[in-house]
Structure 1
Amino acid sequence: MSLIKIRDLVKTYHVLEKEFKILDRLDMDMEDGEIFSIEGKSGIGKSTLLNLLGAMDGFDSGEVEVCGVSLGKLDEKGKEAFRAEKIAFIFQHHLLLPDFSALENVSIPLLIRGVSPGKAREEAMGMLDKVGLKDRYESFPSQLSGGESARVGVARALVAGKRLILADEPTGNLDRENSRNLMGLIQDLQKDLGFGLILVTHDMELAALAHRRNQIYQGKLRPLPVPQPG
């Protein structure tokens, strides 16, 4: 089933009275349950595309359909509802709330959706167990290592069972060992839970997890070869 369909997407920025077309008639197709990488050098439009897919930014023209929703037809309230119901983000800097425990941070998406506090706590505990943090429920972000904070961020993104996860450089702040641990965790969870995952990354090891690799080049997506096992 189609998860994302984009046709002729155009996004332009204006800098110092000059027009810069960062995405130029871009097309994209992605199916449910795929891992899809978006690669390319800094400033090429990777995060811009991710923000558009997450209804965090607008676009000039084209058609953008995500999880069956036409984003160009949504007003601000519709965009908020779309984000709450359909997608979740994993960020490079994790963005955990410092005054809330790991368990409370992971519970927040459920509480926003109207899940009862008791049920939200139970489901958050289950997701923290899945990411290997069973003994860290009550720890605050300042008490967590970088790798543990990243796992809390992953748990928070996945706890509400969204169809699409948007990950912007999820290993960018981690050392190599923690990066590899997080990559393995994300891959295992994706196989288990079946969500669609878009990885925006410079990390070739992370990109190698993708079912389809893509590069933004001259404002468009072009496919890259996917390494074969062995």
Structure 2
Amino acid sequence: MSIIKIRNLVKKYHVLEKEFSVIDGLDMDVEEAEIFSIEGKSGIGKSTLLNILGAMDTFDSGEVEVCGIKLAELDEKGKEAFRAEKIAFIFQHHLLLPDFSALENVSIPLLIRGYSPNKAKDEAVSILEKVGLKDRLDSYPSQLSGGESARVGVARALVAGKKLILADEPTGNLDRENSRNLMNLIQELQKDLRFSLILVTHDMELAALAHKRNQIFQGKLRPVVSPQTVQ
């Protein structure tokens, strides 16, 4: 069953009175519990596409359906509800709140959704243990290594049990060892929790984890390798 369906998507920008299409007639299908990579050089439209999927950016024409919701039909309040209820993000720079501990950073999305403080804490502790940070619950971002901060970012994305995760260069800020550790963690968690993952990356090792690898070229997606069968 498709969790993302895009048909003939067009996104235009205007620069110095000239118009150009960064996305031009793009089609995309992502199934449930699938890792789908989007690759390509800088400025080619990868992050733009991710922002459209997350209802963070508009588009000029085409159909975009995510988690059964047609994004073109949402007003601003509807987009906020969509992001809160349906999707989560993993960012390159993690974007942890500096004045809050790892436990608090992961608890906040649950508190916003109306969880009781005790329930939010229990869920946050559980996912932080899954990412190997049982002993770092009370550490602040300034006390965490880059790899640990990345794991907190992953835990925050997964804590609410959402079935679609959008990841923008999640290993881009890490050294090779920490990148590989994070790649292995993401792969293990995806197999266990069965979420769909849209992965924007320059990292070919990370992209190799995908069930379907795709590249943006001339505003459209094309497969990099033959699709793998989801295990």
- TM-score per shorter chain, which class? over 0.9
Counterpart in 2 of 1:60? Answer: 60
Counterpart in 2 of 1:35? Answer: 35
Counterpart in 2 of 1:85? Answer: 85
Counterpart in 1 of 2:19? Answer: 19
One-letter code of the match for 1:225? V
Counterpart in 2 of 1:69? Answer: 69
Counterpart in 1 of 2:195? Answer: 195
Q: Shift in Å at residue 227 of structure 1? A: 9.2
Deviations 1:53-100 (A, max 9, x none): 000000000000000000000000000000000000000000000000
One-letter code of the match for 2:80? E
CA distance in 2, matches of 1:15, 1:88: 31
One-letter code of the match for 1:222? R
Deviations 1:19-78 (A, max 9, x none): 120000100001000000000010000000000000000000000000000000000000
Secondary structure at 2:105 match in 1: helix
CA distance in 2, matches of 1:215, 1:132: 32
CA distance in 2, matches of 1:224, 1:203: 14
CA distance in 2, matches of 1:32, 1:111: 27
Counterpart in 1 of 2:6? Answer: 6
Structure 1 gaps of 5+ residues are none
CA distance in 2, matches of 1:135, 1:14: 50
Q: Shift in Å at residue 16 of structure 1? A: 1.2
> Are the aligned partners of 2:63 and 2:70 in contact in 1 as well (CA < 8 Å)?
yes
One-letter code of the match for 2:78? G
One-letter code of the match for 2:75? D
CA distance in 2, matches of 1:205, 1:128: 25
One-letter code of the match for 2:162? K
Is 1:158 the counterpart of 2:158 in the alignment? yes
CA distance in 1, matches of 2:163, 2:148: 24
CA distance in 2, matches of 1:52, 1:213: 19
Secondary structure at 1:148 match in 2: helix
Q: Shift in Å at residue 224 of structure 1? A: 1.1
CA distance in 1, matches of 2:216, 2:106: 33
One-letter code of the match for 2:109? P
> Are the aligned partners of 1:32 and 1:196 in contact in 2 as well (CA < 8 Å)?
yes
CA distance in 1, matches of 2:184, 2:18: 43
Secondary structure at 2:134 match in 1: coil
Counterparts of residues 70-149 of structure 1 (less than 5 Å) = 70-149=70-149
- 4+ runs of 1 displaced by more than 2 Å? none
Is 1:171 the counterpart of 2:171 in the alignment? yes
Counterpart in 2 of 1:205? Answer: 205
> Are the aligned partners of 1:208 and 1:227 in contact in 2 as well (CA < 8 Å)?
no
Q: How many residues align?
A: 228
> Are the aligned partners of 2:213 and 2:227 in contact in 1 as well (CA < 8 Å)?
no
Secondary structure at 1:135 match in 2: helix
> Are the aligned partners of 2:212 and 2:227 in contact in 1 as well (CA < 8 Å)?
no
Q: Percent identity?
A: 84
Deviations 1:114-157 (A, max 9, x none): 11110000000000000000000000000000000000000000
Cα RMSD after superposing both structures: 0.9
One-letter code of the match for 1:201? T
CA distance in 2, matches of 1:141, 1:189: 22
CA distance in 2, matches of 1:10, 1:152: 35
> Are the aligned partners of 1:3 and 1:67 in contact in 2 as well (CA < 8 Å)?
yes
Deviations 1:172-227 (A, max 9, x none): 00000000000000000000000000110000000000000000000000011159
Structure 2 gaps of 5+ residues are none
One-letter code of the match for 1:165? I
